[in-house]
A and B are shown apart, each in its own frame.
Chain A
Amino acid sequence: MRVVSNSWTMFKRCLLTSLRNPENIGAAIFVPAIVMWLFGILFGSVMDVGDYNYIDFIVPGIILQTVAQAVTSVAISVNNDMHKGIIDRFRSMDISKSSVLTGHVLSAIVRNMIATTVVIGVAFAIGFRPSAGFVDWLIIVGVLILYMLAITWIAVICGLIAKTPESAGTMPFLLFVLPYISSGFVPVETMPKALKVFAENQPMTPIIDTMRALMLNQPVGNNLLLALVWSAGIIVVTFTIAVQVYKSKQK
């Protein structure tokens, strides 16, 4: 299968180059860790989220922010590729077109997993005490990988359409802010009307609620299904758009 072979080769290329520039992963760990410390420790004592410790409450939202921070480097590296001679080489070769982008996405998943693992470790260090079992964690990882794929393809589109690497890197910032307008940091019931409607219906809320319920041994309800449908839907749409945009860059 050409597409599998080509994607695997591109994955190894992107992984190798990103491991040689480890500062990308550094930022993806550092920024969410600071936010977590600020919210969890500094504001934690005055936050009232019912029966939970505030730090336990915010970890899912923090993880989504980690993903958002980690994908900025995908947007930048896709943009870099598009403006260098190497893209002409790839385009003039008889290879699968999507593999050029898939390589970036797959290597981003690896970076994301590393950053997320470290951030969860930091969470434990400052007082995060989940009660999830092994199977719960497996489901959390599954939900998370699907979410990472969805977000990474959005970042790929940012990288494709941005004029410069700098603007490509700032576009995914919205993804870092959006968890604040979800169930990530405050219960949606406490929000003003307009924000509440948005927060209740945006995809991050069921994803966060699923992870939180699994971590804290609460009933998941239909959140898991919603989370999977949202992520899968976003992946299908963004993958299609990304490949079309990539092809349309042929002038």
Chain B
Amino acid sequence: MENIISVSGLRKSFKSLEVLKGVSFDIKKGSIFALLGSNGAGKTTAVRILATLSKPCGGKAAICGYDVLKQADEVRGCISLTGQFAAVDESLTGRENLQLIGRLRRLPDTNRRADELLTAFDLEDAAKRLAKTYSGGMRRRLDIAMSLMGSAKERQVIFLDEPTTGLDPQNRIAMWDMVKNLAGEGATVFLTTQYLEEAEYLADKIAILHEGVIIAEGTLEELRKMFPPAKKEYIEIQPTLEEIFLKIVGGAQ
């Protein structure tokens, strides 16, 4: 399968603080990619550069074949972003928020698509309420629904920056199902997370970002092979991703 995102040698500094020190990875079309890292590892910075919100200081990044710096408008046409802070208009209702995005993207069937998404995200009953009255979980769902205004084909790459942070377990599981469905429908999902089980459960490919560099990358299986079972004598225990992560990160510290 072809790569829909390719990033090489991406660097970003904020004044003297070097956040990304040459980050490279490729993501295949239709896959779920998880960028794993602790707080401050540079995950959000990487997402913001790929989503054209931030300019890299060096390196290259392309999405759908378009350069994020030189062809930002074309990139914007094939991505959708759900940032870390709910990007909803609090003075609009749930339905109006969805319609706003549909009209801005000039979809032919904004109202029908809005209704579909309200149903899919269990927001039908709250559709006519102002978003400021929503709970955290509802806001997050509305936020992601807004990112999905436009079919999966049009929004080929979906960025989810810590989509489950602050969600209760039920909503977290619902979110996971949703992410799997999106990839099932052909979209490529790029998510960042600090929850290891989330990456373990969802991702086709995992990259671990630590202090501005990717220190491990691959499928869960590949990562497991890099760190063979520790106790061989009696029983074989597959290391969890958590153990892998802590071993690498702990070793680097």
Cβ–Cβ < 8 Å partners of B98 in chain A: none
Check A13–B100 contact: CB distance below 8 A: yes
Check A93–B85 contact: CB distance below 8 A: no
Judge whether B73 is part of the interface by a CB distance below 8 angstroms. yes
Please provide the chain A residues from 183 to 223 with a CB less than 8 Å away from any CB of chain B in the complex.
none
Check B89–A86 contact: CB distance below 8 A: yes
Out of A21, A84, A85, A93, name the residue touching B76 (CB < 8 Å).
A93
| Docked complex Cα distance between A92 and B143 (Å) | 14
- Once A92-B51, A250-B54 are accepted as A-B contacts, the answer to whether A17 and B92 lie under 8 Å apart by CB is yes
Check A17–B89 contact: CB distance below 8 A: yes
Check A251–B55 contact: CB distance below 8 A: yes
| Docked complex Cα distance between A171 and B37 (Å) | 42
Check A94–B77 contact: CB distance below 8 A: yes
Q: In the assembled complex, how far is the CB of residue B63 from the closest CB belonging to chain A, in whole angstroms? A: 11
Judge whether A163 is part of the interface by a CB distance below 8 angstroms. no
Cβ–Cβ < 8 Å partners of B79 in chain A: 92
Q: In the assembled complex, how far is the CB of residue B76 from the closest CB belonging to chain A, in whole angstroms? A: 4
- Once A17-B91, A85-B85, A85-B87 are accepted as A-B contacts, the answer to whether A9 and B76 lie under 8 Å apart by CB is no
Check A21–B91 contact: CB distance below 8 A: yes
Q: In the assembled complex, how far is the CB of residue B73 from the closest CB belonging to chain A, in whole angstroms? A: 6
Check A91–B91 contact: CB distance below 8 A: no
Out of B55, B81, B86, B103, name the residue touching A92 (CB < 8 Å).
B81
Interface residue count on the B side (C-beta < 8 Å): 34
Cβ–Cβ < 8 Å partners of B146 in chain A: 89
| Docked complex Cα distance between A5 and B108 (Å) | 13
Cβ–Cβ < 8 Å partners of A98 in chain B: none
Question: Considering only CB atoms, which chain B residue lies closest to A96 in the complex?
Answer: B104
Cβ–Cβ < 8 Å partners of B55 in chain A: 250-251
Judge whether B156 is part of the interface by a CB distance below 8 angstroms. no
Q: In the assembled complex, how far is the CB of residue A165 from the closest CB belonging to chain B, in whole angstroms? A: 14
Check A16–B96 contact: CB distance below 8 A: yes
Judge whether A167 is part of the interface by a CB distance below 8 angstroms. no
Check A84–B54 contact: CB distance below 8 A: no
Cβ–Cβ < 8 Å partners of A251 in chain B: 14, 53-55
- Once A13-B100, A93-B104 are accepted as A-B contacts, the answer to whether A85 and B83 lie under 8 Å apart by CB is yes
Please provide the chain A residues from 1 to 60 with a CB less than 8 Å away from any CB of chain B in the complex.
2, 5-6, 9-10, 13, 16-17, 20-21
Check A86–B52 contact: CB distance below 8 A: no
| Docked complex Cα distance between A2 and B84 (Å) | 28
Check A89–B103 contact: CB distance below 8 A: no
Choose among B53, B81, B104 the residue with the greatest number of A CB atoms under 10 Å from its CB.
Answer: B104
Cβ–Cβ < 8 Å partners of B100 in chain A: 9, 13
Cβ–Cβ < 8 Å partners of A10 in chain B: 104
Check B91–A88 contact: CB distance below 8 A: no
Check B52–A91 contact: CB distance below 8 A: yes
Cβ–Cβ < 8 Å partners of A13 in chain B: 89, 92, 100
Judge whether A95 is part of the interface by a CB distance below 8 angstroms. yes
- Once A84-B85, A92-B51 are accepted as A-B contacts, the answer to whether A20 and B104 lie under 8 Å apart by CB is no
Check A92–B92 contact: CB distance below 8 A: no
Contact with A along B129-144 (1 / 0, CB 8 A): 0100000000000010
8 extra A-B contacts, CB within 8 A, seeds A88-B53, A251-B54: A84-B87, A85-B88, A85-B143, A88-B83, A92-B51, A92-B76, A250-B54, A250-B55
Binding site for B on A (CB under 8 A): 2, 5-6, 9-10, 13, 16-17, 20-21, 84-95, 250-251
Shortest Cβ-Cβ A-B pairs, 5 listed: A85-B87, A85-B85, A89-B87, A17-B91, A94-B76
